Structures are given as C-alpha cells and as structure tokens.
Structure 1
Amino acid sequence: MLRGSLYSAVYWGVIGVFEPSFNVHLQNLGITGSQIGLLGAILPFLQLWVAPLYSGWADRLGKRRWMLAGALLAVAVVLFLFPWARTFPAVLVLSFLLALGRSPTVGLGEGVSARMAARHGLEYGRMRMWGSVGFGIIAILCGYIWSRIGTTSMFPAAAVMALLAALAVGFLEEEPPAQGPAQRFPLREIRSNRVIVVLLIGSFLIGGALWLGVIFGGVYMTDLGGGLEMVGITVGLPAFLEVPAMYLSGRLVRRWGGTKTLLLGYALVGAYFLGLAVVKTPMLALLMALLRGPGFGLFMVSTVVLLERNAPPGWAATVVALMSSVSFGLAPLLSSPLGGWIYQHLGPQTMFAFAAALVGAGALALWWGREKPAPGSGPAA
C-alpha cells in the first residue's frame, strides 16, 4: 500500500506542476482558443493509438516497470525544452513529443497498480487517492508560485518531478509476461464481455467532457477575472475531494453495485458542467468545481476496479490502457477541436452545456447497458 501510494502521489504531482496553468501559459503567448483546442487534441490522439499498443507490448514482454520508467524519462526531457517554445509551431512540435511520452503512462501505471493491489488483497482506491492528494497540494502551491514568478518556470520544475516519478516506478511490482494464448490481443473476449463494453462506452462519453474541463477550466477562470492562484485552487481543491470518494469507492461498489456507484460519479460531474454553464463569477465557478472532485474519484476508481476484475488473465494493464485511450484519447480527440470552436464562437457557457450533455449521454448508456443481477444475487452482482 505504501509503495503504490508513493508512486501515485509522485506521478500525479508531475501533472499538478504544469497542467492547471499550461493553457493559461499558451494564452499568454498569444495562442488562440481554436489553437488551444487543436493542441489539446494531440494527447488524446496519441493516447488512442500509443497507450494500448505500448501497454500490450509491455504485457507481452513482462517489462511494464521498465517501459513505464522510460516513458517518464522522455516526458522529463521534453519538459526541460519547453521554456524555449515561444511560437505556435514550436509549441506544436514539443506538445506532440510531450504527448507521445505521456500517452501510455496513465493506463500502464494504473493497470500495474491495480493488479498489485488485487494481488495483495488491498483496495486500489485507497492507493490511488494519494495521487489526488499529491496533485491537489502541488497544483494549489504551484498556482500561487507561477502567479508570482511566471509560468515558464513550471516546465523545469515538472521535469524534475518526472525524473522522480521514473525512480518511483521501482516501488511497483512486476508480473510475469502473458503466456500461451494470452500472447494475442484478446479482442474477442473484450467484445463479448458486456461489462467491459458498457464501461468503455460510458468512459468515451464522460472522457470527452472531462477533457474540455481540463483544457478550458483554467482559461475560463481567468476570463471571469480570477488569477493563477484561483486557477490552482480550482484545480487542486477538487482533487482533495477525490480522496474520500476514492477511499469509499470499493465499499460503495460492494454495497450498491458498480453501475449505481458509477452513475453517482457521472451525476456529480454532470452537475459541475451544468453549474459552469450558468455561473459568471470566479467564486461560484470554484464552488461548482467542488462537485468534480468526488465525481471523478468515483468514476476513475470504480471503472479501473471493474475493468481489472473482468479483464482476460494477464491483460489487466492493457484493458485499463484501452479505457484510457477511449476516455482520454478518442473522446477528447473528437470533443477538443469542437469544444475550442464552441468556446471561441458561441461562448464558454454553451461549451460547458455541451460537456454536460456528453456526461448525460454516458450515464444513459451505463443505465441502458447495465447487467440485470440474477434473482437473489444481491446488489454487489
């Protein structure tokens, strides 16, 4: 538990250093909303293709830790170079390279951590919640610092954190490589598993909405008159609220069942986007953001746990990476450019209403495709 929690805290700390203020940095460089939307589509595009292929390769070789550490080292190198990117073409090139290294890290890291937790009889949510703690503390602290010394300094700081994350990979446990028939990607088994298919559909829809919040949440806060301190608080404070949701997620899944737990998470995320569609002050936007934390916590942990339980033997990391590529790859790839256009031409309120509609569609898909428990099987089924 301690080793898995440490890796999670350090890894998500890397993201907390630069991601909340990244698009504000781009805006300060003179990059337009449509261009920000285009840049925001790069990581989802690469997650769609790179994450499952890279994780599948790691599963076959049994080198998950080494390949995860290598990707994090590549992220560190690119982050060191980012302060010299001052034009859109330069930012475009480095954003592509950063996304190339970063794209497999979430799915591979979460898959390895979830398997390690299951192997030792631990609750994955209680391990993953320390990632939210690390992200929240660092996001709030860095928002305060970058508002005073400038956003350029966040890149070398994030690079150092990425190096520490690469070292923290050593605390995770490796599994043997997939053997025998499992050497082939189990597409047929995945397609025939109702639970996995429904989770992927719901993750696709809510992932597109969440990515719009990542890209434009900080930009909208500055448009409302909030500074980088408010951007950091808006991103970091909800991360702390992910902690109780992640801590309790395993218990809720056992008591309510996976579908109801996920629907609660979807409802909270949808309320967050609906709130942003109507509020017009920084403080009210911050209050709406408080709903996102527990909503995302329930969504992320419950989805990963259910995927790990239903994955074909030896392919847990790959199936989780597939979810990552769908929810943070394919869906954002489609929603990001459209969201950028809506934000620039129709206004932020319309864009956030669009995001809420995506979450609602995901909730309907989960409810429609839910499995009916057998008579007398209880809610945990």
Structure 2
Amino acid sequence: MLRRRALLGFWLSVLLVAGFCHCDDKSVEVVGIGECADCEQTNIKTIHAFSGLRVAIDCKVADGKFKTIGVGELDSEGKFKVKLPREIAKENGELKEECYAQLHSASSTPCPTHSGLETSKIIFKSKDNGKHTFGPAGKLAFSPITCTSAFLWPFFKYPPKVLPQLPPKPYYPPKVFPQLPPKPYYPPKVFPPLPPKPYYPPIYKKPLPPPIPIYKKPLPPPIPIYKKPPIPIYKKPLPPPIPIYKKPLLPPIPVYKKPLLPPIPVYKKPPHIPIYKPKPPIYKKPPHIPIYKPKPPIYKKPWPPIPKLPSLPKIPPIYKKPHPPFPKLPPIPKKPFFHKKPLPHLPKFPPISKIPPKVFSPP
C-alpha cells in the first residue's frame, strides 16, 4: 500500500515538472547589440547616443507586408532584449516568418542602417532549457546625426533662435609692480669630464624557424531550404445587414403650468417717532469787560533835514530819422458768399405720455 502511494506521488511530480517544462518550452527572445558608427568623429558619448533608442522586430506576413511583433529599448551599453510571442517559433528552433530588427529614434521614426539589411535579419542563436534565443546577424550600426537620441532630440525639436551673447569682458588696468634689484652675478660651475662608458659586445640569438601553415578544410556550400507556399484560406462573405425599423417619435405633449399667485404683502411696523421735549435754559456768566487806560506819549527825535543835490546838465535830445511810409497793399477781393440750402424740417414726434407717479402703499 505504501509503495503504491509513493509510486503515485512520484508520477504526479514527474507530470507536473513535464507540464511546467512544456509551458516554458516555447519562450522566444531576441538579443543583440547596437553600435554607433561615427560617435568618435562627432565627439558624442555613446551613453548619450543610445538614450531613448528602441528596437522593433518586424516580420513579413503572408500578404507581403511587415508587422511589428515586439519592441525593446537599448541600455547604456547598446544591448537590447525583446520578447516575442511563442507561436512565431517552430519546434525545430526556426522562425515561421522572415523577421528583421529595425532601430527607431527618440521621435519614433525609423533609423537608416549603415551595415545593410542582411545584418539586421533575425537568425537562430541557441536553445537552452526550452528557451529559444534569436538575434540579428550582426551589430545594428547607426549614426547619431540621422538617428537622434533622447539626449539630442530637444535641441533638434526646439533649436535656439538667437544664440545668447556673453557680456563684454571687463577691463582691468595692468598691475604695476615695484622694480626689483638686479640679480647678483655668480660664476658658472665647471665639472670634470665623465669617464667613458664600458663597451659590451652584442649577444647573438638564433633566429626562429618559419611557422608551419595550418590547413583548414573549406566549408560545404549551403543547402537550399524549400519552403512550402502558404495555402490561401477561404473566408465566407458575411450576409448583408438587416435594416432596423425605427418607430417615428410622437410630438411632445404640452405640459400645463399653473400661473403664479401675486406675492403676499408683508406687514412692517412703522418707524418710532421721537417726542421732542424742550431743555431748560442754562445760565452763563457775562464775559469780563476790561477797562482801557491811555498810555503816556513816547517822544521821538526828529530826523535831520536832507540836503539838496546839485542839478544835472541837460542832455540834448537824440534825433531819429523817420521811417518811410509803408506802401498800401491792394484790397483783397472778397469771395462771393453762397448760402447753403436750408435743411429739411424735422418731423414732429407725438408727445411722450407721462408716467403716473408711484403711490406708496403702507405695508
């Protein structure tokens, strides 16, 4: 009994492991590397050139058109990893359709390849633990000028209209240092001549024999693989749509609205009228009237008489030649004045009816 239970548990565990392996048997992955063709010439770092670039895996469908089945991004080293659907790989490790890797810039536009279409073709690389690994035939080379990255895209999208001008360099007057005293004169040092170097004869080395050529067997020519043409699938045309009858809408029923009643007047209490009471008169003391006393007169010494100045001699009058008479100008002819036509009489409007005065009704 115990042996049967142990055997049953063992076979169940084997089936579970086999089921898990079968699920992961068709996991497909594309691995490759991108390469910057002229980063050193344009003085651009590879980290900046790879930022924001993406790789799309495009496969050729039966109609002859390409369809994107996977997208991945390039890391700082230019490596990428794209996962594909399991149905695209066969059991022998080949792809059902022809697929190519296409680089896209940060603005989602395809980049032109520098290495040709053959290097971007997806081929089988390896199979490990049921995991199929594919990759392009070579490195995906591109130019940062035609394939702009996320680091360079803002400059191309919003180029500066006017370059900023630097402020003028401030002028600093040259510093004047005090004159140093002249250097003292020291006589040159004379050293005795060095002894001659010892002579060592050259050591003879036997030359090595020429290398033996290694013969490599040439590879056989590739065997052409026959691919069966796809069988066209017949699709039955759909029947024409059945027209749906819509019942016409009835005219809207008029809704009777009850007229509003006049507003109910609200009674307000009349304002309080105060009763005036006369105040008793307040007695005020009459103001003090001062008594005026005349002051004694103040004596002022008279001023001395002012002496008369001698009379000045008379200056003869200056003769001025009279101006010649101003010639009379001819009279300006007056333009005849024409009366304008009188304006037509305005029509009499009817008198405006007077608005009756508003009668205040107590609340």
Shorter-chain TM-score range: under 0.3
* Structure ranking higher in helix proportion: 1
Greater CA radius of gyration, 1 or 2?
2
Q: Identify the structure with bigger relative contact order (alpha carbons < 8 Å, sequence gap 6+).
A: 1
TM-score (norm 1): 0.18
**TM score, norm. by length of structure 2:** 0.19
Report the structure, 1 or 2, having the larger strand content. 2
